[in-house]
Amino acid sequence: MRLDKFLKVSRLIKRRTVAKDVSEQGRVWINGREAKASSTVKPGDELTIQYGQKTVTVRVERIAETTRKDEAGELYTLVKEEQRPREDNLGW
């Protein structure tokens, strides 16, 4: 499955166009390699997504063309979530 579609179906990102934009900005990695929206995602892959001040790493458990909202979380397992310190608070 395409990366942008997986991000949308799994609800890691709410809309496919946003998922495509985030991927094209170089903020998504598959197994440690920068990924484009058209990259293929398969079970066992680790996705790292950078959202603003937060970076999330998930492991793909299964692929589904569609899911209900309450089932979307079953497509992946959260591996790691990190908050980055805000850069605008320089303490001057």
Domain ranges of the chain: 3-83
List 80's β-bridge partners, or say none.
Answer: 57
Q: Count CB neighbours of 5 within 10 A.
A: 17
**How far, in Å, CA of 64 to CA of 27, rounded?**
23
Which CATH number among 3.40.50.150, 1.10.645.10, 3.10.290.10, 3.90.1150.10 corresponds to the domain 3-83? 3.10.290.10
Residue 65's pLDDT is 94
Note the Cα 63 to chain centre separation in Å: 14
> What residues contact residue 90 under an 8 Å CB cut-off, 6+ apart?
none
Buried b (16+ CB within 10 A) or exposed e, 15-49: ebeebbebbeeebbbbeeeebebebebeeebbbbb
Q: Is the pLDDT of residue 90 over 60?
A: no
Q: Is the pLDDT of residue 92 over 60?
A: no
Q: Is the pLDDT of residue 3 over 70?
A: yes
pLDDT digits (tens, 9 = 90+) for 19-67: 999 999 999 999 999 999 999 999 999 999 999 899 999 999 999 999 9
| Predicted TM-score (pTM) of this structure | 0.87
